[in-house]
Structure 1
Amino acid sequence: MGYTAIVDYGVGNLKSVTNALRYVGVSTQITGESAVLERADAILLPGVGAFPDAAERLRESGLDRVLLEQAGRKPLLGICLGMQLLFERGEEVRNCEGLGLVSGCIRKIETAEKLPHIGWNQLAFPNDSPLFAGVEEGSCVYFVHSFCGVETRPEQVIATTDYGATVVAAVQNGNVYGCQFHPEKSGETGLQILKNFGGLNR
């Protein structure tokens, strides 16, 4: 039986993501082992905290190389900081290289609104994506972040939200996906997104 591997690199709330995926019928396995990631049908990269710390953990563990190898072979979804790590670089704390699977940079949100951006916001869909099948434009999801993707190729942006500025909410480059928001904390809408991701490689 196939499974979605949830990357354990010491950063992120693995339990809530695991529970949400299992709720929508997706088998999961939490792992930091390359062999388990290689056998998986899909990979989910969670993350909370600062970009440089997380990027360093991926590099030290060698998981960055595994993710780059597997990204062309199966669906990969980054959530919150996990999405940010998909970008070419980040500017949080200091300049730092990301995985380079999505074009652009991670930078502090340029807004007059209070940071961090915490709470429910509506989604707009500038490009179609199977990740949002069955999700209506204007649906609300839950965000917790101060940094966001910028300089992203327009065709790679599949969702935006407004927070005193247009903020990239989700990206896609081939079978690589990223959600700045937390689908596992976003009620029925989030569950539908996770269900869609779980069905991408079936």
Structure 2
Amino acid sequence: MIAIVDYGAGNIFSVKNAMDYLGLSAELTSKPEDIRNADGIILPGVGAFPWAMNMLSQSGLVDVIKEEAVKKPFLGICLGMQLIFSKGYEFEETSGLGLIDGEVKLMTPENLSIPHIGWNKLIINRECPLLSGLGDDEYVYFVHSYAAECSDEDVAAYCEYGNKVTALVNKGTVYGAQFHPEKSGKTGLKILRNFAELIG
């Protein structure tokens, strides 16, 4: 079973619906014991970095997520991906989960508007299990104003929006998608299926 972490930060039902569509076992939960017993974890999220970290803290889920994410497949989606980094600078400097070294900062694309909303091409940076079976012309759906800055070795794929924008990261068992795979058609569904197949 894959635990979809419900901490009040939105878009959980669209993720659950996508997993149901794929016939994958996934449950919404806010219980630490469910996260510990799960075979994999998905951390969704929409909204602001400091607010989401506060919600996770109030839910008592920060420590269990940190402990379990290094033991089993873990996927952060959109804001959930941003939270896996060391720090975020939305409104104020806020510590993240620290699962991957990096910082989340306001995007500054020249002559382009933010938030970055819409479909953009994934450019593969290195091999990653979540990209298995995908080609060189895959598009995914983004909605965000902040983006992660991290080591290139942790970036599995990026997109171009004025400059390079980190789109998919991976370090060990930890994965993060800045885009919304659950809203990205066949490409996004393939990525979610690839994640589920990590469980075996």
Q: Normalized against structure 1, the TM-score is what?
A: 0.97
Aligned to 1:122: 121
Paired letter, 2:77: I
Confirm or deny that 1:137 pairs with 2:136: yes
Aligned to 1:199: 197
Instruction: Say which SS state the counterpart of residue 81 (structure 2) adopts.
Output: helix
Question: What's the CA shift string for 1:139-173, capped at 9, x where partnerless?
Answer: 000000000001x1111000100001110001001
Paired letter, 1:104: G
CA drift of 1:138 comes to: 2.7
Aligned to 2:162: 164
Paired letter, 2:113: K
Within a 5 Å distance, the mapping from 1:1-202 to structure 2 comes to 3-112=1-110, 113-150=112-149, 152-202=150-200
Paired letter, 2:102: G
Paired letter, 1:166: K
* RMSD across aligned positions (CA): 0.7
CA drift of 1:137 comes to: 2.3
Distance 1:170 1:123 in 2: 9
Distance 2:30 2:193 in 1: 23
Give the count of matched residue pairs.
Answer: 199
Paired letter, 1:8: D
Question: What's the CA shift string for 1:108-134, capped at 9, x where partnerless?
Answer: 112121000000000011111001101
CA drift of 1:72 comes to: 1.5
Instruction: Say which SS state the counterpart of residue 68 (structure 1) adopts.
Output: helix
CA drift of 1:21 comes to: 1.0
Paired letter, 1:57: M
Distance 1:137 1:92 in 2: 33
Instruction: Say which SS state the counterpart of residue 124 (structure 2) adopts.
Output: coil
Distance 2:168 2:61 in 1: 23
Aligned identity (percent) is: 49
Question: What's the CA shift string for 1:14-55, capped at 9, x where partnerless?
Answer: 111001112112111100000111110000000000000000
Q: Normalized against structure 2, the TM-score is what?
A: 0.98
Q: Which runs of 5+ in 1 are unaligned?
A: none
Instruction: Say which SS state the counterpart of residue 123 (structure 2) adopts.
Output: coil
